Amino acid sequence: MHGRYAHWLKARLSHRYGEVDAEDIAQETWLRFGPCGGIESVRHPKAFLLKIATNLAADRLRRHSRSTRLAAEVAQIDGWDVTQPAQTDELLAKQLVLSLPQPLRDVFVLSRIGGLSNAQIGERLGISPKTVEWRMTKALAHCAAQLRR
């Protein structure tokens, strides 16, 4: 049933979420897709599969975030000094940046990681500083929305 798109989906998910999670997300995607009829019944199968996978990845991230928060709260109540590992924070930040559309990601990375001003970013990307400002606002709003989920 899914032979035609299996490799494509796995490669796409590996790029977005890493090899470790890609296999699980891909398998769960096919399980969710099963009741939908068949690949032929979907007008844009790649978009549909990727949307299912993206939703599943977001659900996994939310569940992980909740369980980590709960563990920290329990540890705090019990008097333990347990903090969330920096690696988890780093992974969350990476996923947030990678989830940005390319034009917003370029501006975000050049600003927050590269330390460039709006004028410098505009010059480098061939856009106006006002467009840089607009894209940065959109990028920050996108990240905030993802964190609220």
Q: How far apart are CA 36 and CA 54, in angstroms?
A: 17
User: Is residue 70 pLDDT above 90, yes or no?
Assistant: no
**106 Cβ contact list (under 8 Å, min separation 6):** 125
- Taking Cα atoms as reference points, which of 99, 89, 108, 93 lies closest to residue 15? 99
The position carrying tokens 């993802």 is 146
pLDDT, residue 15, reads 80
**Model's pTM, two decimal places?**
0.43
Q: How far apart are CA 25 and CA 28, in angstroms?
A: 5
